[in-house]
Chain A
Amino acid sequence: MAVETTSTPARRSVRVATPRNFETIAWLFMRYSSILLIPLAFGHIILQDVIVGVHNIDLNYVEMRWSLIAWRIYDAALLAFAFAHGMNGLRQVLMDYIRNERLFRLVSWGLLILWLAITVVGAIALIGGVRN
């Protein structure tokens, strides 16, 4: 079997006018939020899952952690950026598979409502804190 190698010539950058619509902003949001999410999400998972570990996490641990306002702000940023990034990512993936425009609009609204509902639930818990 012959192996085909593809070669592309060096490219020059060409400026094209991009409409400032929702899709452009969503596309940019995915890229800029990723820069913020590296320290936030990597820091969170390394600390909680690798260093502390789920066997040392309980109500008291959450209460102790959230007694510091800085951790609540950190978690609020994670909730806002990670979840929005993820839900928009899901929307962009679905866009590739749902060819029916009306169905896609319906699904998008469903995702928006789900995103809002879960974000509100998380935000209430973050503000309310641990109820012992």
Chain B
Amino acid sequence: MSSSSLKTTLKGYVGYRGREGQWSFLLHRITGLGVLLFLLIHIVDTSFVYFVPHLYADVINLYRSTLFGIGEIGLVFCLFFHGVNGIRIAYLDIFKPTDWTVESERRSAVIALVITLVLFVPSAIFMARNLLIHNFGLLGG
């Protein structure tokens, strides 16, 4: 990818006003790539239990750090959004392709985001609580 095509891409994303459909497309890509990046690392770190079991505790310790803990909350958002929005895409493509109209897509994009937040907010609170207990000794930890 040349730098000029990257510039064109970025300018296109900023200038194009596709509203909900565009934002959900972008968020779907970003969250998908985010989950994949973690998944790649996660398969390797889990395989440590067989290949280098004495190093597994070190990896887990890294995951227990506050920085990774916050990243983990972000990961949960990425997976929930990508999954809920992905099901929307799969459902429309397979069963209701005629519903890919601007109005109905805008509505379903917003519904996907709302369902994501319903799943994400309680999970994030629970994970933040775990982080406060284990990393900051708060809440009786």
Taking Cβ atoms with an 8 Å cutoff, the residues of A that contact B are: 6-8, 10-13, 30-32, 34-35, 37-38, 41-42, 45-46, 49-51, 53-55, 57-59, 62-63, 79, 82-83, 86-87, 89-90, 93, 97-99, 118-119, 121-122, 124-125, 128-132
Question: Which of A13, A31, A42, A99 is B79 in contact with, Cβ under 8 Å?
Answer: A42
Q: Which of chain A's residues have a CB closer than 8 A to the CB of B3? A: none
Total contacts A to B, CB within 8 angstroms? Answer: 130
Taking Cβ atoms with an 8 Å cutoff, the residues of B that contact A are: 1, 5, 9, 29, 32-33, 35-36, 39-40, 43-44, 46-51, 53, 56-57, 60, 63-64, 68-69, 72, 75-76, 79-80, 83, 86-87, 89-90, 93-94, 97-98, 100-103, 119, 123, 126-127, 130, 134
**Residues B60 and A54 in contact, CB atoms below 8 Å apart:** yes
CB distance from A127 to the nearest CB of B (A): 8
Q: Which of chain B's residues have a CB closer than 8 A to the CB of A87? A: 36
CB distance from B80 to the nearest CB of A (A): 7
CB distance from A9 to the nearest CB of B (A): 8
In the assembled complex, the Cα of A50 lies from the Cα of B75 at a distance in Å of 11
Question: Which of A10, A31, A46 is B89 in contact with, Cβ under 8 Å?
Answer: A31
Q: Which of chain B's residues have a CB closer than 8 A to the CB of A35? A: 87, 90
Q: Which of chain B's residues have a CB closer than 8 A to the CB of A42? A: 79-80, 83, 119
What residue in chain B is nearest A37 (Cβ atoms)? B83
Interface residues of chain A: helix, strand, loop or mixed (majority): helix
**Residues B60 and A57 in contact, CB atoms below 8 Å apart:** yes
Q: Which of chain A's residues have a CB closer than 8 A to the CB of B60? A: 54, 57-58
Return 10 A-B CB contacts under 8 Å, by A number: A11-B98, A31-B93, A31-B94, A37-B86, A41-B79, A45-B75, A54-B60, A55-B130, A121-B44, A129-B49
